[in-house]
């Protein structure tokens, strides 16, 4: 498996927000046909759809984490912040269930990530990388 391995963000958050936006717009049209006052639902629906679109673009262009031979870089959405964790080799990096830890001297330190925020295929590649190392 080629390094560096890039794990992208999952697209579930923008999709869920988009579904909320569409449901609010539908509710606004239904309510407008009976009550003639749908402005809260209409406003919320438009805001949710715009936010969903922005997050969709940001998540598509962002890398959640990047694993190299001797370091792991954790990035925020849009790449606005990055935190790097250094280790000697991939043997100092392990995946315990949903937790990713690395050896920091003599102790194991948890890296603050969750597999639910990671792309499914990329997380599977990370699992394969860490289980097949020499």
pLDDT, one tens digit per residue, over 7-22 is 999 999 999 999 999 9
55 and 113 together in one domain: no
127 and 70 together in one domain: yes
69 and 94 together in one domain: yes
Alpha carbons 98 and 123: distance in angstroms, whole number = 10
Alpha carbons 56 and 23: distance in angstroms, whole number = 18
Helix residue ranges, H only, the chain: 12-34, 39-61, 120-131
Beta carbons within 8 Å of 113's beta carbon, 6+ residues apart: 64, 65, 74, 100
Global confidence as pTM: 0.80
55 and 76 together in one domain: no
Cα atoms in the Cβ-side hemisphere of radius 13 Å centred on 21: 15
Q: What is the pLDDT of residues 25-66, one digit of tens each?
A: 888 888 776 666 667 888 889 999 999 999 999 988 889 999
């Amino acid at each position: 498996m080629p390094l560096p391995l890039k794990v992208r963000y999952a697209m579930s958050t923008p999709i869920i927000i988009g579904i909320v936006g569409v449901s609010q717009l539908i509710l606004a049209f239904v309510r407008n046909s009976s009550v003639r006052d749908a402005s809260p639902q209409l406003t919320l629906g438009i805001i949710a759809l715009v936010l969903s679109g922005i997050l969709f673009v940001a998540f598509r262009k962002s890398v959640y984490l990047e694993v190299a031979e001797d370091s792991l870089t954790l990035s925020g959405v849009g790449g606005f912040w990055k935190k790097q964790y250094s280790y000697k080799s991939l043997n100092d990096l392990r995946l315990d269930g949903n937790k990713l830890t690395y050896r920091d001297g003599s102790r194991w330190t948890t890296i603050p990530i969750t597999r639910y925020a990671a792309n499914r295929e990329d997380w599977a590649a990370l699992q394969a990388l860490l289980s097949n190392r020499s």
